């Protein structure tokens, strides 16, 4: 079901990775907002894992946004991410819903202590 305008009640930023080089030729990665838009959170799932002798938690979140021709087709998981409430979510892909009506943005982020 496609959401009504009022159901998009979360403000998210889509960021793009840029790489510049310092005087020594070393790459410096930074992130810049390419869009700030309204979204809704469809689902959240938290899991805990052990990797490399460390325990960490991840949060899988599905953001739903209205389709935007200028943004959605160009999003690449390696180059784009989403920020919401000071948390960073790695983009897993883009799914078109309907005929360019809505887009689903599945993400995964590292859970932060003390944040819901």
The burial of 87, by beta-carbon neighbours within 10 Å (0-12 exposed, 13-18 middle, 19 or more buried), is given as: middle
Domains defined along the chain, listed by start: 5-110 (2.40.10.270)
Number of H helices, E strands in the chain: 0, 7
Q: Which phi and psi (to 5°) does residue 113 adopt? A: -65, 140
pTM for the complete prediction? 0.79
CA dist 46 and 59 (Å) reads 4
Task: Say whether pLDDT at 108 is over 50.
Answer: yes
Greater confidence (111 vs 70) lies with 70
In 3D, which of 35, 40, 34, 42 has the Cα closest to residue 5?
A: 40
Q: What is the mean pLDDT of the chain?
A: 84
Task: Say whether pLDDT at 62 is over 90.
Answer: yes
Q: Which of 25-29, 34-38, 111-115 has the lowest mean pLDDT?
A: 111-115
pLDDT in tens, 11-35: 999 999 999 999 999 999 999 999 9
Q: Which of 3-17, 26-40, 42-56, 98-112 has the lowest mean pLDDT?
A: 42-56
Structural element, H or E, at residue 60: strand 54-66
């Amino acid at each position: 079901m496609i959401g009504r305008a009022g159901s998009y009640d979360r403000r998210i930023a889509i960021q793009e990775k840029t790489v510049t080089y310092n005087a020594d030729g070393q790459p410096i990665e930074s992130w810049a907002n390419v869009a700030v838009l309204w979204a809704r959170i469809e689902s959240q799932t938290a899991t805990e894992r052990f990797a490399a002798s460390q325990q960490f938690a991840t949060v899988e979140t599905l953001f739903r946004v209205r389709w935007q021709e200028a943004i959605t087709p160009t999003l690449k998981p390696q180059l784009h991410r989403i920020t919401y409430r000071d948390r960073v979510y790695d983009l897993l892909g883009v799914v078109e819903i309907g005929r360019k009506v809505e887009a689903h943005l599945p993400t995964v982020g590292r859970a932060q202590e003390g944040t819901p």
